[in-house]
Amino acid sequence: MNLSLKEELKKLEEHHIQIETRISKEKLDNILADDFWEIGSSGRPFDKKFCLEKGVSLTEMTLHHYEIQPLASDVVLSTYYIADKTRNRNTLRSSIWKKIDGRWQLYFHQGTVTDLDVQEFQREAGK
């Protein structure tokens, strides 16, 4: 089966938010680029080393309104909405994926808390 780039990256993004992935250092190490960093919804920056050593949030999340914008042949910006059932909050997120050593790896990520529910976001974003 040949997935489109959008489908392939969405699948990786969905894999990344699964609790089974987030509790596994090996799975996180595989999905995060060596020079990965993020600006968390707290406004604090984190790098790959921090994520692997201290862990990441273990929450039940669902992804909505996934979109991509290719920036170069091997770099893609993705944007999406997350409903976090565990923390009862929603975030708008962006990720930069880079194709490194023949596979897509998460290079950068940012989450911003929003008070919009998924339907309001859909209306506001015109999607």
Domain ranges of the chain: 5-125
Average pLDDT by consecutive 10-residue portion of the chain (127 residues)? 86 93 92 96 91 85 95 97 91 96 97 89 78
What pLDDT, on the 0 to 100 scale, is given for residue 121? 84
Exposed (0-12), middle (13-18) or buried (19+): which is 64, by Cβ within 10 Å? middle
Q: Report whether 25 contacts 31 (CB < 8 A).
A: no
Match domain 5-125 to its CATH number in 3.40.50.620, 3.10.20.740, 3.10.450.50, 3.40.1190.20: 3.10.450.50
Q: Rounded to an integer, what distance in angstroms lies between the CA atom of residue 22 and that of residue 122?
A: 27
What pLDDT, on the 0 to 100 scale, is given for residue 116? 87
With a CB cutoff of 8 Å and minimum separation 6, the contacts of 57 are 22, 87
